[in-house]
Amino acid sequence: MSRTIHLALHPYGVGGPGQHGLWKDPRVAKNASIDIDYYIKQAQAAEHALFDALFIVDSQFINATYPAHYLNRLEPLTLLSAVATHTRHIGLVGTASSTYNSPFNLARRFASLDLISKGRAGWNVVTSFDTGTARNYGLDEHLDYATRYGRALEFVQVARGLWDSYEDDAFPADVERGVFLDPAKLHALNHEGEHFKVAGPLNISRSPQGQPVIFQAGVSEEGRDLAARVAEGIYAPGGSLEQAQEYYADIKRRTAAHGRDPEHIKIFIHGGPVVAATDEAARRREREIHEEDNDFDRNLALLGRSFGAYDFSVHDLDAPFPDVAHLAEKGGRTGAAKIIERAREQGLTLRQVAESVNEFRRSPFVGAPETVADTIERWFDAGTFDGINLAFRTHEELDLFVDGVVPILQRRGLFRTEYTADTLRGHLGLPVPANRYADAGAEG
């Protein structure tokens, strides 16, 4: 069976990091990020186009410098539960932190979404890099890298154990015998680990897909290893074709090294296509978008996020980039390290580094529909992704991609022409995980 491309949709709302001017666009409702009708419309359009999933990001710390979408947005699982009742096929993936949540509570919430949606839920596991989040949970400092990733691994293992609390045939609901539950099919977890102690069982049964799909976005060594051990979907950093190839091959190699089938982990790169009638018109629009979003003060604040929401405005903009290496460990360490290294090697000032945060970079997925489809096919064949996590500034731009690019991919046999499954696992070609207790009983 030939490989086909997976597509997910990542709504921008009124604009996240790097889309500083989006909220000013007259086509964008100023309350989009808290308007459930906006998300339902986006999800239904993506479902009409046969996309695999809707992806919702999240964070739990803000200050006044944060992007517009971050300042006022809906909580992902509440949002996705509402969307679930207005869709039938599209997967629903929400971001939640393993650092600032309890395994029992979060496992229950995702299991609820999975049942509400009849098997379409996915969890994007993040460890959080906004240092300020710690203070919202009674902690003075953000946990270090090793602790965050050790906790994340154990968190996922606990959640998966809790999702197996009931075997699939645990509820005979036999009125004549007066038996609602077969108690032999209910299992307590009784987990005691380095980070968590959770008795269980969870008070909710499995969905048609068995368990929610686990997504992750690992860039650092710890993140890549966590992804290879537990993830079934990955949101990859993208970059150049060569960088995407390296990441793709590395994750697949690590996955195999952990004894897993590399085909059971689907890698999505970020894509923000700009589609127009001609290549020239699309490139003009790409440049216009950059100018709309190029706000120096916002770029300076965005730079601070990689260093734990550090306020760089206290420094002289035209002095050498300040020594903030000590902040990287509690923030986005991998990205921060690259910024520091480049600033040191090139002798950059703080102003120059801040300007580079949102400097103009040509996207590969820009042009007329045929051009964009050609590039997607070339990258796919080159082994850079299994899917693309698509982001569009407006609903009209989503329509241009759906009406122009998707039919070309379908004609080339690269994208589905109908849904052949009802669950997110089915869309992604992932197996339904066997219940560990039922499996153990069968072996016995």
Interval 337-370: pLDDT, tens: 888 988 898 999 999 999 887 788 889 999 999 9
Please report the pLDDT score of residue 444 as a whole number.
44
Would the pTM count as exceeding 0.85? yes
The structure tokens 């990091």 sit at: 17
Q: Is the pLDDT higher at 17 or at 375?
A: 375
Please report the pLDDT score of residue 276 as a whole number.
97
- What is the rounded average pLDDT of the residues 113-121? 98
Please report the pLDDT score of residue 336 as a whole number.
83
Res. 332: pLDDT tops 70: no
- Identify the weakest region by mean pLDDT among 229-233, 312-316, 366-370: 312-316
The overall average pLDDT reported for the chain is: 93
Q: Enumerate domains of the chain plus CATH numbers.
A: 6-280+361-443 (3.20.20.30), 295-357 (no CATH)
Please report the pLDDT score of residue 333 as a whole number.
67
Closest of 294, 299, 305 to residue 63, by C-alpha: 305
Structural tokens at position 387 = 């899917």
Under 8 Å between Cβ of 51 and 419: no
Closest of 419, 415, 435 to residue 427, by C-alpha: 419
- Residue 331 binned pLDDT confidence (cut-offs 50, 70, 90): low
Please report the pLDDT score of residue 205 as a whole number.
97
How far apart are the C-alpha atoms of 212 and 267, rounded to whole Å? 17
- Residue 309 binned pLDDT confidence (cut-offs 50, 70, 90): confident
H helix intervals, 258-364: 279-293, 296-305, 325-328, 333-346, 350-357
Torsion angle, alpha carbons of 156, 161, 163, 166, to 10: 180
Res. 40: pLDDT tops 90: yes
Q: E strand or H helix at 56, and its extent?
A: strand 53-56
215, β-bridge pairs:
124, 233
Res. 230: pLDDT tops 90: yes
